[in-house]
Structure 1
Amino acid sequence: MSYILGIDGGGTKTAYLLADESGRIIDQYKGPTIHYMQCGYDGLTSTIKEAVDYFINKQKIHRDEIAYCFVGAAGYGDIEEDKEFIKQAIAKGLEGIPFAVDNDTFNAHAGALLGQDGICVIAGTGSIGLGVNKDQSIICGGWHHAFGGDEGSAHWIAENYIQEFTKQSDLRSPRTLLYTYMKDKYNFNNDSDALQQFIVDWDYDRTKIASLSKDVYELAKKKDSAALAIFKKAAYELSLIYRSIYKQLDYQYKIPVSYIGGVFQSKEFILEPLKEYLHDLNLEFVTPKFSADIGSLLIAYKYLGIAIDNTLVSNLETFHNSL
């Protein structure tokens, strides 16, 4: 039996799926990010090797039984000169397993739209979009968070949350539940304790900061006006990604558009304003068919020439629906 390995390397965590040629998921594994700017090339190698060794040891299979692997890697392609170094680091981790690698937008798009033309936007720790129209594709967004990029992402939402707290502290903005919520949750004696908490104690860690977006979701459920405004701003920023791709690819027909990433788990707080911002375009929002890790499997199957038929899709659905 031959096995297929799909890897979805996001900005916070990495998901690994081991499947057979019929789409039956054999095992799964979760690990830390493989974004090379966060873990380094050596970290990328060791993280992937650890996951592969896990599958080999647990399933009692040989490395050469893994016929192919597709790696969706956040950050891949951002800096052209780094692509070869990323490939080399992945190759060391896979130790002889044939593979292909591309930006994680490609496997997200493949999973969400099952290979159809259209647009998929990822809004997790970071944000980025991919549009496909026949033989053309365009990536939009994904600029580094250090200078305010990754608009609409969990990290961006969290930064706006902290910024709003500082404004409410100074009375530059009217105080809402957001102000007391942050103070109480993080046990601030003084408002300036936010600096100690997020910059010193957390070292302004990207993943930890992004996790604050969950606070904004909780506040939105309580109808906090500041939190709702942050989500509306995030939706607007994400709408610009869809709109830019739509215009550049010059779609001449109604296209499906989808979405993947933790920000979209905020449901109506992000999706309703997003759809409103895009109401003038000839597109249809569709629920993502599969997750990005399954998207990596789908791309690997295509590289091997394995047909994405009803049986394979049905087997993948069995796993997806069990999550």
Structure 2
Amino acid sequence: MYIAIDGGGTKTEYLLLDKHFQVVDHYLGGCLNHDLLGNGWADVSLALKASIDVLLERNGLTVSDIEAAAAGISGLDTAGDQQQADACFSSAGISRFLAINDGYLPIAAENPAAWGVSLNCGTGMCCAAIDPSGNRIKLAGMDEWSGDAGGGNWIVMQMYRKVYENLILKDVNTPLVMEYVKAMNLGSKVDFINSWSDLKEGENAECKALHRKIIWLFFELLERSNPEAQALADQMIKCAAYSIDAAVRELHFSGEKIPVYLSGSILTKAASSGYLSMLKKALSCICQGKLEVHMCTKRPVEGAVQLLKFPVVENFNLSYNSI
């Protein structure tokens, strides 16, 4: 039996697979991003083991029945994170496993040969790439530290900042300010200031609903050619283009077209057609026109399934026991 995992910042998808990699059971667990949990990797370890135990117990299995596991984990960004992630799987009793950043999963999900580039914009953003030899690199994903632009949290923060700069600092009602105040049902400047508390609450349902409303407003304003929204979109596109170009330069791709997979809820669900067209046009201009841009159509956890298959793991030049 095998286990495939897509560990996110909000939820985690677990698949129990038979020896033919067919799905036997499915479980939806909570956050596996250590940056978002009170006790960091200690909480990740507890959540991982508890979820795996649920799968095992309801299928009459023990951990010794698991041949291997493959997981993409949000927030697995550094060598120190890698050590901690490995320790989590060892603590769960799984001796053969592959733990990597979840940004790589869309590549393996969309391309059975498991190479290409993934631009992932969900709650945050990152760029991950794997070349045909299995070498890999992940860029961005460190928020303000790496100048990320394009994730949902970034859009919400930038929209709030635009209103703050105009309404509070300049006492000016721009079209963006007026639309924001109307959409958020704010009656005064004090209401706007106080709304910050609700926007930074993080995981509760009310906060998520407010974030979705602001993200929708941003893309609506962009479709109406609002200059402030366009300036934010330009920043997002620049960040994406620079990240992808840097990743491609760092790895070794042949003369073939390099597939770029757009993934994450911002790109696959929220983004307007106008923004996606602008992004694709910008990406077509970099890397000497060698990029082929695709929208992801498969769930990231399917990438973890692909990575469990021996030929793909072999391409990574990795043995399970050394991971």
Q: Which residue of 1 aligns with 2:88?
A: 89
Q: C-alpha root-mean-square deviation of aligned residues, in Å?
A: 3.1
Q: 1:95 to 1:197 in 2, by over 3 A?
A: farther
Query: Structure 1: any 5+ residue segments left out of the alignment?
Result: 307-323
Structure 2 residue corresponding to 1:301, chosen from 282, 287, 309: 309
The 5-angstrom pairing of residues 76-225 of structure 1 reads 76-78=76-78, 80-92=79-91, 94-96=92-94, 98-135=96-133, 137-147=135-145, 149-170=147-168, 171=170, 175-176=174-175, 178-198=176-196, 200-201=197-198, 203=200, 205=202, 208=207, 212=211, 214-221=213-220, 223-224=223-224, 225=226
Q: Which residue of 2 aligns with 1:237?
A: 239
Q: Which residue of 2 aligns with 1:57?
A: 57
- Tell me, what secondary structure is at the counterpart of 2:28? strand
Q: Structure 1 length normalisation: TM-score?
A: 0.79
Shift of 1:221: 3.5
Q: 1:82 to 1:116 in 2, by over 3 A?
A: closer
1:292 and 2:300 correspond: yes
- Tell me, what secondary structure is at the counterpart of 1:278? helix
- Tell me, what secondary structure is at the counterpart of 1:75? coil
Tell me the distance in 1 between the aligned counterparts of 2:191 and 2:181: 9
Tell me the distance in 2 between the aligned counterparts of 1:221 and 1:84: 43
Structure 2 residue corresponding to 1:268, chosen from 258, 269, 273: 273
Q: List per-residue Cα deviations over 1:101-136 (Å, max 9, x = no partner).
A: 112222232113223432112111221112222326
Asked if the contact 2:48–2:88 (Cα under 8 Å) also holds between the matched residues in 1, the reply is: no
Q: List per-residue Cα deviations over 1:163-218 (Å, max 9, x = no partner).
A: 12223424587622x434443454433234344332x3455538957972552234
Q: Which residue of 2 aligns with 1:41?
A: 41
Q: 1:57 to 1:202 in 2, by over 3 A?
A: farther
Tell me the distance in 2 between the aligned counterparts of 1:51 and 1:157: 32
Structure 2 residue corresponding to 1:253, chosen from 252, 256, 259: 256
Spell out structure 1 runs of 4+ moving beyond 6 A. 303-306
Tell me the distance in 1 between the aligned counterparts of 2:51 and 2:141: 28
Query: Identity rate of aligned residues, in percent?
Result: 19
Q: Structure 2 length normalisation: TM-score?
A: 0.79
Tell me the distance in 2 between the aligned counterparts of 1:67 and 1:267: 43
Tell me the distance in 2 between the aligned counterparts of 1:238 and 1:172: 33
Q: Which residue of 2 aligns with 1:15?
A: 13
Shift of 1:95: 2.9
Tell me the distance in 2 between the aligned counterparts of 1:254 and 1:30: 36
Asked if the contact 1:130–1:140 (Cα under 8 Å) also holds between the matched residues in 2, the reply is: yes
Q: Which residue of 2 aligns with 1:5?
A: 3
AA in 2 matched with 1:73: I
Tell me the distance in 1 between the aligned counterparts of 2:259 and 2:144: 32
- Tell me, what secondary structure is at the counterpart of 2:72? strand
AA in 2 matched with 1:50: A
Asked if the contact 1:257–1:283 (Cα under 8 Å) also holds between the matched residues in 2, the reply is: yes
Tell me the distance in 1 between the aligned counterparts of 2:17 and 2:108: 17
AA in 2 matched with 1:212: H
Tell me the distance in 2 between the aligned counterparts of 1:156 and 1:141: 16
Tell me the distance in 2 between the aligned counterparts of 1:34 and 1:99: 16
Tell me the distance in 2 between the aligned counterparts of 1:6 and 1:254: 29
Asked if the contact 1:154–1:210 (Cα under 8 Å) also holds between the matched residues in 2, the reply is: no
